[in-house]
Chain A
């Protein structure tokens, strides 16, 4: 044995003697990780979090979480002589008097933005591919909790420097808390240690931001990853990929190398952003004073949704029996966000209830193969986007030369119209894509080779799909409740289908599983129109609508019973 081999062997034995790890680590090393770029979105969030921990630790060595007033005398001359809190002064100090301080601050803030953006992208990916289905509902819920905490963590984090912009955000937080009936004033006074701004809010947010929430995050991230390890990652449909296997590359050395590389990519990304893109220039905002405010005040982008809800809502309040209920603040702060997050949390279970599908799912759906689900997701995205844009409405009004009030008026209607339009358009797009897949399935892939038939007609040759392509199309019947025809044959419907609720459920299921059936004949957009030959007679009119597909595998090479058809 060489020296290296001896060392490795020795270390391995030493550890194994104490921890019994040989079998476990071997399994771990051989564990297969499937490959798809969308599976790396969660990693972006994970590595951003690690970078936040590292840069945050650096910052905590220099930051003073105190609201005691001091007079600034430091490197940033325009603020010399200005009275400010120690928190603000220490942030100026980090930016201008600590080497690498500004870089660490900027990397920290960019990483925070990337963290939340990646969580959003990751969450959407999970939703659109149906990866939240059994057995992964708990992981989905953990993810939603982490998303909520990430929003809070970011809010508290950027409020720590006590600058004008983030201090205004805290003022708005106070106003929102005040609006809560019965307990609002108490909550506010307890959080701020008295009337706003008090002397306690920055140190309290600090400890929540550096200790409490990161601790919770570490625990949740560990649980999230462990569950993913234990249940194995899902995979996209493809050749050889079934619901009972995982196809990909082993952890050691492939996945380790790739994920390590991705960590460095993430770090490089935020490091270069911190070099070239200035973020949160608190010296320009100035220290917080309750008497001042800047035009174009916005929170960080992930809070923009709530900012938009606050701007868009009309000024409804109730003054009843000596008490005020501030609907104009309560509803925008709680309802839209509450709807989206509660809906998201319940969605896996709602879908299970509607479709009756309680099987394990380890192969992802292609978003087009679940048109209603994808459309619902896009409707929620549109809903979110309207509020996001409204949150920036004064910046948009100024830069795009649109009247300020008009932006709010548009948003008030768009809140209802945009999700509906997004739902409709997305669904049609998905169904259209499914029809395109069906076309490929039935008529093969166009090869670009033109042939002339003896009769003089020109046709394009098509080839049948390869096994790989066929597998990637992920053609299969959608899971669902028994078809209406089968149900009608039953004398007593199953318990879950009885009564008014049962009928509702059936209707919802019909909508939710609407999909282009794979045994449909005809192209769906014309009686003939398939370009070569006569085609076959149109299938049932019903085939185009939401009838539940009744199985029937279409083999790629058997797509031709094409009467006039071209060569197979």
Chain B
């Protein structure tokens, strides 16, 4: 090997280590005098630690021998476990819950044990078979010395001068100006990620005459059928039952009350507090299921307290009083969907919600 000019090594390179004699692997190391690491100038009054080289053999040979047997056993166990893993993969089918249970157990157990025994074996090896050492290495101050700093500064300034960057303001300023659109362009490119919101959030797909279907069974509902006080069911607009985008805004619940429980009056958009009478049918009221906090389905209905509870963050709405907020982080009542019946007697929407459903947004007003 030819010796080329050696560039700067890593910072903890010992600067004045004595040259070590060329050794071939396998010759016994010389005792003592050879230092492993640089001459440490110890700090303060603390004593410097012995030893300063790696011993070749462990201090306790019997313990090491015992440990070697244990480690070998562990490695063999690991080998068997790995083979077990392959066997389990090949031999065990999946395709039903029970089969997956067996396969998962076999594959996972064999893999886990294979790794675990490897790990334990390796640790025992280090702790009991490798000789115990504690060595010291010197740190060097991280700050470069002032000569180096000055030299760097000089190089930097020379380069800056040579580049003329500092001396020619026209060049400099136009360069900086040129980079501005480059920085902005990637943001501009993202514009087509989605449509502009426009007024989309202000409306749902509900429109006059659109039937309410029970979600799942997709059957239209008559008041005569939905007649038990204390009843509640999730409803979706007819034709949109398989449209998640529409459902995310239009899903609603209908609740049937005993006569005299609903508190009728004129609703106020912000405070709520009343149920609009000509939006109900036969003491059946319809509220949006989309919680006004952050949009979870607010579906938990307590028949006895007449409370609608959203399970996400516990916003609670008072169903007889226009779903006004009783507790929790929701800022406004659940919007009420105006109901009426069609010619066949099924419950239909009278018109769309009269306010945006769901969480608050800047343009909501």
Contacts and interface: CB of A to CB of B under 8 A. Distances in A.
A42 B133 CA distance: 24
A186 B108 CA distance: 46
B104 A360 contact: no
Interface stretch (A250-258, A415-423, A481-489, A560-568): A250-258
Interface string B119-160: 110110110001001111111011000000000000000000
Contacts of B122: 257-258, 260-261, 264
A254 B131 CA distance: 10
A393 B125 CA distance: 47
Contacts of A194: 194-195, 200, 245
Contact of B133 (A100, A249, A405): A249
Contacts of B175: none
B109 interface: yes
Contacts, number: 341
A316 B331 contact: yes
B234 to A, nearest CB: 6
A394 B245 contact: no
B77 interface: no
B76 interface: no
Given A172-B294, A172-B296, A240-B49, A195 B329 contact: no
Contact of A193 (B141, B193, B296): B193
B311 A293 contact: yes
Contact of B270 (A230, A319, A329): A319
Contacts of B96: 75, 96
Interface stretch (A13-21, A456-464, A501-509, A515-523): A13-21
A178 interface: yes
A557 interface: no
B97 A244 contact: no
A244 B194 contact: no
A341 interface: no
Of A178, A249, A405, chain B has the most CB atoms within 10 Å of the CB of A178
B36 A30 contact: yes
A48 interface: no
Contacts of B43: 242-245
Contacts of A107: 108
B330 A27 contact: no
Given A30-B36, A258-B123, A249 B134 contact: yes
Contacts of A340: none
A396 to B, nearest CB: 12
A328 B325 CA distance: 13
Interface string B229-240: 000001010000
A245 B125 CA distance: 27
Interface string A234-275: 000001101111111110011001101111110110011011
Given A264-B122, A297-B311, A317-B331, A99 B94 contact: yes
A437 interface: no
Interface in A70-86: 75-76, 83
B118 interface: yes
Contact of A240 (B46, B93, B141, B296): B46
B361 A240 contact: no
Contacts of B46: 239-240, 242, 471
B295 interface: yes
Q: Is the interface of B mostly helix, strand, loop or mixed?
A: loop
Interface in A4-28: 5, 8, 13, 16-17, 20, 23-24, 27-28
A289 B119 contact: no
A452 interface: no
A100 B251 contact: no
A189 B195 CA distance: 6
B94 A96 contact: yes
A324 B362 contact: yes
Interface string B330-349: 11100000000000000000
Nearest to A264: B119
Interface string B342-358: 00000000000000001
Nearest to A85: B244
Interface in A174-196: 174-176, 178-186, 188-196
Interface stretch (B2-10, B60-68, B256-264, B278-286): B2-10
Given A174-B295, A196-B248, A313 B329 contact: yes
Interface in A311-328: 311, 313-317, 319, 322-326, 328
Interface string A359-402: 01010000000000000000000000000000001100000000
A185 to B, nearest CB: 4
A143 interface: no
A83 B330 CA distance: 32
A175 B329 contact: no
A548 interface: no
A142 interface: no
Given A5-B25, A265-B116, A100 B107 contact: yes
B37 A171 contact: no
A176 B312 CA distance: 13
Nearest to A198: B245
Interface string B186-206: 000011011111001100000
Given A20-B4, A246-B139, A471-B46, A290 B361 contact: no
Contacts of A31: 12, 137
Nearest to A16: B1
B139 A100 contact: no
A513 interface: no
Contacts of A174: 294-295, 359
B116 A290 contact: no
B24 interface: yes
B12 A95 contact: no
A244 B362 contact: no
A304 B223 CA distance: 42
B329 A329 contact: yes
B359 A261 contact: no
8 smallest A-B Cβ distances: which pairs?
A275-B108, A175-B294, A261-B122, A264-B119, A268-B115, A272-B112, A268-B116, A326-B360
Interface of A: 1, 5, 8, 13, 16-17, 20, 23-24, 27-28, 30-32, 69, 75-76, 83, 95-103, 106-107, 135, 168, 171-172, 174-176, 178-186, 188-198, 200, 230-232, 239-240, 242-250, 253-254, 257-258, 260-265, 267-268, 271-272, 274-276, 288-297, 307, 310-311, 313-317, 319, 322-326, 328-329, 332, 360, 362, 393-394, 404-405, 408, 467, 471
Interface of B: 1, 4, 6-7, 9-13, 24-26, 36-37, 40, 42-44, 46-49, 54, 89, 92-97, 100, 103-105, 107-109, 111-113, 115-116, 118-120, 122-123, 125-126, 130, 133-139, 141-142, 190-191, 193-197, 200-201, 215, 234, 236, 242, 244-245, 247-249, 251, 270, 289-290, 293-297, 299-300, 311-315, 325, 327-332, 358-365
25 contacts: A27-B13, A75-B96, A83-B242, A96-B94, A99-B92, A171-B248, A172-B294, A172-B296, A175-B358, A179-B360, A185-B197, A193-B194, A245-B138, A246-B136, A257-B130, A268-B112, A271-B115, A272-B109, A290-B251, A310-B312, A311-B313, A311-B314, A324-B364, A329-B329, A467-B47
